[in-house]
Structure 1
Amino acid sequence: MKTELRGRTVLITGGTSGIGRALAEELDRRGNTVIVCGRRTDRLAELRERHPGIAVHQCDLALDDHRQRLADQLAKEFPSLDMVVNNAGIQLRSDVSRPIDPARLRAETDVNLIAPTHLTSLLAGQLAGKPGATVVNVTSALAFAPLVTVAYYSATKAAVHSLTISMREQLKELGIRVVEVAPPAVDTELGGDLRDDPTATHGGMRVAEFVAATVAGLEAGADEILVGLSQQLKADPEGMFDTLNSMFDRG
């Protein structure tokens, strides 16, 4: 079923930077009501200043009560909500050959896996029955073949891929479509933990190119939007594993 991307009311988590912000700006340009949830108040203020039509909500998705508060606010302020984009994520280096700080693992678990699961469950009742109601889960090419340098991040995204399949069945009876979008490496600040200069470009796909592919896939009615390298990694995860990991220094 094709998705109309005009006149919608859309929540985008992690929407103050990277692909979340670019998608928010594109959907705002198309005449949708866009709500961005983000943790950093300075970035929310800057986004609102540049795009007055975008509503912003401060929310740390790692916290249970913040997710509940967000859901309550949306029910009151945006009853027409009909699309949720679970985009927020963090990517940290992890290597079990040396002791890992469990707090880093919890941070990735809370934001990458628990947040989209819990938030979707809180918003399902509000979405139910609305024409074209949609949940979009942003996973990763690494959901299909892991990058060893970010082993735990890869595992959380593999879990969200699996979760998305189950969500699709669970929410079908409520008339809610569930879409998975799997980005390749996109040139954003995600993965700054791996770079000496977190703000430096790493040569990934241009954000605009990724957003264009995502919007095209949504409009075409795809349930799974595999962008760039994601297609090859899903088609041949074992064969692509060495190729993928040879591109990155594990040091």
Structure 2
Amino acid sequence: MKLTGKTALVTGGTDGIGREIARQLRAKGASMIVHGRNPERIAAAQADGFETIATDLSTPAGIEALVAAIQGRTLDILVNNAGMGAAYDVNAAIDLDAVDRCLFLNLHAPIHLATRLLPQLRARPGAMIVNVTSGLAIAPRAGSPVYCATKAGLRSFTLTLRRQLAGTTVHVLEALPPLVDTAMTAANQRHAKMPAAECARQIVAAMEAGRDEANVGAVRWLRLLYSLSPALARRLMLRY
């Protein structure tokens, strides 16, 4: 896909991977709209020259607000990047409200946005939906069962959405990052993290190449291991 002249919406685009994707798409000549929910990050994105939309996509009202803000506008690219984790350990207290927010933001919101904004994307001569899942969508880790479940669900949705849109002007790309250095992963000090800018670079390159999947960094090795032995890949990742 040629990115120059395209109009792109990046959810969760005021921080982390989303912010770097937005910056790199803009550098390629795309017109950017970034979504976020943190007022300070929204202000920083505006100071950086981005058009912003402030909503909380972990709620139905937040989805309605975003769709209303985009309604009737030209849209070539939707990047479903916004996400969050939720602690879940059966040996400790579990905040089910936080679990529900994670489920809604990571899985419900991308499905709703892809569905609601699809008519606008179909109207364009060459459009794209990018769903950011995770290497954990391939094989989960024991410490993040809810997050892993949402990403596995989004991966399944993405695979079938691509099939349904085959032969149309809308291409579907799944981006599978490894552990990336972002605010969400700040508490994890056990493992090496990929810089967000490098993760975004590989995703944007996959967009330009029109690929179906962007297996970023170490996820390439996980995909290879899973193809050879799914059981071994699962055992290793459950301990990760």
TM-score, normalising length: structure 2: 0.91
> Is residue 90–residue 191 contact of structure 1 (8 Å, CA) maintained in 2?
no
Cα pair distance change 1:66/1:104, threshold 3 Å: closer
Aligned CA distance change for structure 1 residues 86 and 45 (closer, same or farther; 3 Å)? same
Q: What does residue range 1-20 of structure 1 map to in structure 2 within 5 Å?
A: 3-20=1-18
What's the counterpart of residue 119 of structure 2? 125
Q: What is the CA-CA distance between 1:26 and the residue it aligns to? A: 1.0
Please list, as runs of the form range in 1=range in 2, the aligned pairs for 1:84-233 lying within 5 A after superposition: 84-172=78-166, 174-192=168-186, 194-195=187-188, 203-233=192-222
Question: Aligned-pair RMSD on alpha carbons?
Answer: 1.9
1:223 shift after superposition: 0.7
Q: CA deviation at 1:48?
A: 1.0
Matched, 1:244 2:237: yes
> Gaps (5+ residues) in structure 1?
none
Tell me the residue number matched to 2:58.
62
- Distance in 1 (CA, whole Å) between partners of 2:134 and 2:121 is 25
Tell me how far apart the structure 2 counterparts of residues 115 and 244 of structure 1 sit (CA, whole Å): 26
CA distance in 2, matches of 1:68, 1:137: 19
Query: Which letter does structure 1 place at the counterpart of 2:78?
Result: V
Distance in structure 1 (CA, Å) of the matches to 2:75 and 2:128:
10
CA deviation vs aligned residue, 1:147-196 (integer Å, no higher than 9, x gap): 1101110111000000001211233465311110000001111234x45x
Amino acid at match of 2:215: L
Q: Distance in 1 between matches of 2:114 and 2:158?
A: 11
Runs (4 or more) in structure 1 with deviation over 6 Å come to: none
How far apart are the structure 2 equivalents of 1:210 and 1:201? 19
Give the equivalent residue in structure 2 for 1:43.
41
**More divergent stretch after superposition (206-215 vs 179-188):** 206-215
Contact in 1 for aligned 2:87/2:99 (Cα 8 Å) = no
Whichever residue aligns with residue 110 of structure 2, its letter is P
Residues 223 and 154 of structure 1: is their aligned pair in 2 closer, same or farther, counting only changes over 3 Å?
same
Q: Hey, what does 1:72 align to over in structure 2?
A: 68
Q: CA deviation at 1:64?
A: 1.3
- Work out whether residues 129 and 174 of structure 1, in 8 Å CA contact, stay in contact via their aligned partners in 2: no
Unaligned 5+ runs, structure 2:
none
Amino acid at match of 1:210: C
Partner of 2:24: 26
How many pairs does the alignment contain? 236
Q: Percent identity over the alignment?
A: 37
Superposed CA offset, 1:91-128 (max 9, x none)? 12322344422112101101000000011111011111
Give the 3-state SS of the residue equivalent to 2:183 in structure 1: coil
Q: In the aligned structure 1, how far is the partner of 2:90 from the partner of 2:190?
A: 27
Offset, 1:201: 9.7
Local SS of the residue matching 2:181 = coil
